[in-house]
Chain A
Amino acid sequence: QVQLVESGGGVVQPGRSLRLSCAASAFTFSNYGMHWVRQAPGKGLEWVALIWYDGSDKYYADSVKGRFTISRDNSKNTLSLHMNSLRAEDTAVYYCVRSLASYSGDDLINHAFDVWGHGTTVTVSS
């Protein structure tokens, strides 16, 4: 069945970098936008980043803009999140999520999350 499996989480010191990966299977990965969503301990869900189906456009939450980079390799069905200058407040479970998109006029809107991975935990601590 459709599956997303995250990896790469761990414990990292503040200011350091970490790279998360997500392996997609059982669907045509190159047809879908993809997101990262996170949940800090005791907090709610937070949208982190979006990459279009072909990698042509990328968007970020203000909280990570300039520090995180989303990327994808459609030949390998993989999604990545490169996280730099990590802070304690980046501690969270990070979910890889498939996007649901619809056209509104001529605009393609990625507006919901229809398939979720089980998440990988990132802890930023000295």
Chain B
Amino acid sequence: QSALTQPASVSGSPGQSITISCTGTSSDVGSYNFVSWYQHHPGKAPKFMIYEVSKRPSGVSNRFSGSKSGNTASLTISGLQADDEADYYCCSYAGSSTLIFGGGTKLTVL
């Protein structure tokens, strides 16, 4: 199975909003409301940010929000902060107890 498709990079200025897309197929993103998002600062453990498309775990800022339409999920970060600069990965359940990640998006805060 091929990785979900994410843009390689996005950027924004402090205070702005950005959206990262995650495109899959009707066999994964399009079939299940089990899309999750992870923030990864290089050298650190990835951080769990969004699950079941739009739910936020306890402790995650409400500046982070998720949505889905058809085969494409999206992560929106509002009020960009310098510490948001990181790699972001989407992940979808793909059936038969397997999961598939996106290729990752590098967010640069200008």
Contacts and interface: CB of A to CB of B under 8 A. Distances in A.
A100 interface: yes
Interface residues of A, number: 25
B51 A45 contact: no
Contacts of B104: 44-45
Contacts, number: 74
Contacts of B100: 47
Given A50-B97, A111-B36, A116 B89 contact: no
Contact of B52 (A57, A111, A113, A116): A111
A26 to B, nearest CB: 15
A62 to B, nearest CB: 7
B38 interface: yes
Given A95-B45, A109-B34, A110-B99, 14 more contacts: A44-B3, A44-B104, A45-B46, A47-B99, A50-B97, A59-B98, A102-B52, A112-B48, A112-B91, A113-B48, A113-B91, A114-B51, A116-B45, A116-B48
Interface of A: 35, 44-47, 50, 57, 59, 61-62, 95, 100, 102, 104, 109-119
